[in-house]
Amino acid sequence: MGKKYGYIRVSTREQNEERQLVALRQMDVALDGIFMDKQSGKDFQRPQYLQMMKRLERDDLLYIKSIDRLGRNYGEILEQWRILTKEKGVDIVVLEMPMLDTRRGKDLMGTFLSDIVLQVLSFVAENERSNIRQRQAEGIAAAKARGVRFGRPEKPLPEDFWPLVEQWRQEKIPLMCLLERCQMSRATFYRRLKDK
């Protein structure tokens, strides 16, 4: 029997990892065997995950609270699972899904059932990620339709902007002079003209 490890992932710095940490500590995973990333699960280029992969050896045991903590990309979850279990020879236990415990059922049927459950759960995780993106896009579109503006608020125009524009139109001052006096770029100038 190898060493016990645990992996924790939260999507943002504001999310709390406490539930995952408590679950891993209940499995007697030592604190120095727990790796935690605070970033999206869209891929596996995460510093602590990569560090853990270097440390894992054959017959080690890896605990994760749920499959979506491993990642959210269906294809990549399956690939990482294969690397961990087949190439590295590591056992994985998904605490919230007892069927995903590679220590059990090492026979053909056990492996087959575990693979099916993994594929279904990976699909669900990616599908949820896709739904979140769809809802975000719909929310942004609805907000824009209501007139909500995103990004930094626009700087107010200098008081002499419109008189300077009039002088520029009458070719009394060059554009570069106007831009310098208003401290704005050419792109901003034309956009502000268009917005009027």
Helix (H, G, I), strand (E, B) or coil at 37: strand
Question: Could you report how far apart the first and last alpha carbons of the chain are, in Å?
Answer: 72
Q: Is 22 exposed, middle or buried (0-12, 13-18, 19+ CB in 10 A)?
A: exposed
- 114 is a catalytic site residue: no
CA dist 160 → 25, 43, 140, 157, 166 (Å)? 66, 51, 35, 8, 10
Q: Which residue out of 11, 40, 122, 130 is catalytically annotated?
A: 11
Using only the alpha carbons of the chain, give its radius of gyration. 27
CA dist 126 → 67, 71, 83 (Å)? 11, 9, 19
Q: Is 121 exposed, middle or buried (0-12, 13-18, 19+ CB in 10 A)?
A: buried
Kindly list the catalytic residues: 11
